[in-house]
Amino acid sequence: MTAAALKIHERLCRAYGCPIAYFHDLDPLDELISSLLSHRTRNRDSGRAFRALKAHYADWGALRDAPVEEVQALIAGVTWPEQKAPRIQAVLRGIGEAAGRLSLDFLEGMPVAEARAWLERLPGVGPKTSAAVLSFSRLRQPALPVDSHHHRVAVRTGLIPPTLAVGPAHAALAAMLPTDWDAQQIYDNHEVMMLHGQRCCFFRAPACDRCVLLDLCPTGRARLAAPSVRAADGVDPALRAVRRAESLGGGSAGS
Ligand code: SF4
């Protein structure tokens, strides 16, 4: 499967222009808060909530100790603010207890697997968030996040089965990439898979007829060969399987 994953990566890198510029250069703890806010939320709304927290509190300790209703009101624009506000405070308490201070800078010298395991012991932190903290923050570590777009493209191209949920897909997809890839290459892989899901391999109506992966993609070839195949509710079977796998991997704040 590694060969197929590499072919897809190279094709998408040509289409979207690797290396992809990093969109964040945040402190790792800031990145963690930002990631927790962003789950199932548009970037614009989670960005606004993050800036509201930064503007309101002198530091993350002040947020941790604030009334939860106040935090909830400040992040009202994200999905599930009533879950995310207490979760962020619980995560900050957990970091303070485990690390002795409110900082994740110590993760810099830690092997990626160990750093991810440390982060995933925090409440509500799963593989996507741990990888995002290590990859997107200024730590710039080689950790692969998998969001719903990335997961959908991986399922449809046959890299992973539709029954493999987003959580366990992290390890499966990371194992297909060369072990000597650096942080930028791992980041590029996530970014191009995500971009392809956003710009071509849409959830409801993938644009297979203009897809650069069509010759590598069993789902796309089957769709174009039999475009009239639809279930009674209008949803094709491949899309239903993706939806099922996504629902297994999501549904609550934090991931
Ligand atoms: S061919 Fe269709 S299903 Fe396959 S990756 Fe492209 S858009 Fe998605």
With contact defined as beta carbons under 8 Å apart, do 107 and 28 qualify? yes
CATH number assigned to the domain comprising residue 230: 1.10.1670.10
At residue 250, the pLDDT reads: 37
**Together in a domain, 83 and 158:** no
Which protein residue has the closest C-alpha to ligand 1 atom 3?
A: 220
At residue 241, the pLDDT reads: 52
**Together in a domain, 99 and 68:** yes
**Together in a domain, 111 and 173:** no
**Together in a domain, 43 and 130:** yes
At residue 238, the pLDDT reads: 53
Domain-ending residue, one of 101, 136, 171: 136
Domain span including residue 86? 28-136
At residue 27, the pLDDT reads: 95
CATH number assigned to the domain comprising residue 104: 1.10.340.30
Q: Closest ligand 1 atom to the C-alpha of 153?
A: 5
Q: Cβ(157) to ligand 1 under 6 A?
A: yes
What are residue 40's phi and psi, to 5 degrees?
Answer: 55, 35
CA of 223 relative to ligand 1 center, distance in Å = 9
At residue 231, the pLDDT reads: 47
Mutate to test the pocket of ligand 1, among 202, 213, 215 (most ligand atoms within 8 A of CB): 213
Nearest residue to 133 (alpha-carbon basis) of 150, 117, 149 = 117
Q: Closest ligand 1 atom to the C-alpha of 207?
A: 7
Domain-located, residue 141: no
With contact defined as beta carbons under 8 Å apart, do 188 and 194 qualify? no
Q: Closest ligand 1 atom to the C-alpha of 200?
A: 7
At residue 187, the pLDDT reads: 98
With contact defined as beta carbons under 8 Å apart, do 190 and 150 qualify? yes
Domain-ending residue, one of 78, 105, 136: 136
How many residues appear in the chain? 255
Give Cα 213 to chain centroid, integer Å.
22
Instruction: Please give the Cα distance from 210 to 74 (Å, whole number).
Output: 42
Three-state DSSP class for residue 30: helix
pLDDT, tens digit (0-9, with 9 covering 90-100), for 114-157:
999 999 999 999 999 999 999 999 999 999 999 999 999 999 99
**Together in a domain, 9 and 72:** no
**Together in a domain, 118 and 165:** no
Which protein residue has the closest C-alpha to ligand 1 atom 4?
A: 220
CA of 182 relative to ligand 1 center, distance in Å = 27
CA of 242 relative to ligand 1 center, distance in Å = 13
Instruction: Please give the Cα distance from 143 to 130 (Å, whole number).
Output: 8
**Together in a domain, 179 and 159:** yes
pTM: 0.86
**Together in a domain, 152 and 215:** yes
User: For the chain (length 255 residues), average pLDDT per consecutive 10?
Assistant: 93 98 94 95 95 98 98 97 97 96 94 97 95 97 97 98 97 97 98 98 96 97 75 52 50 36
Q: Cβ(220) to ligand 1 under 6 A?
A: yes
At residue 21, the pLDDT reads: 96
Instruction: Please give the Cα distance from 103 to 136 (Å, whole number).
Output: 16
At residue 244, the pLDDT reads: 54
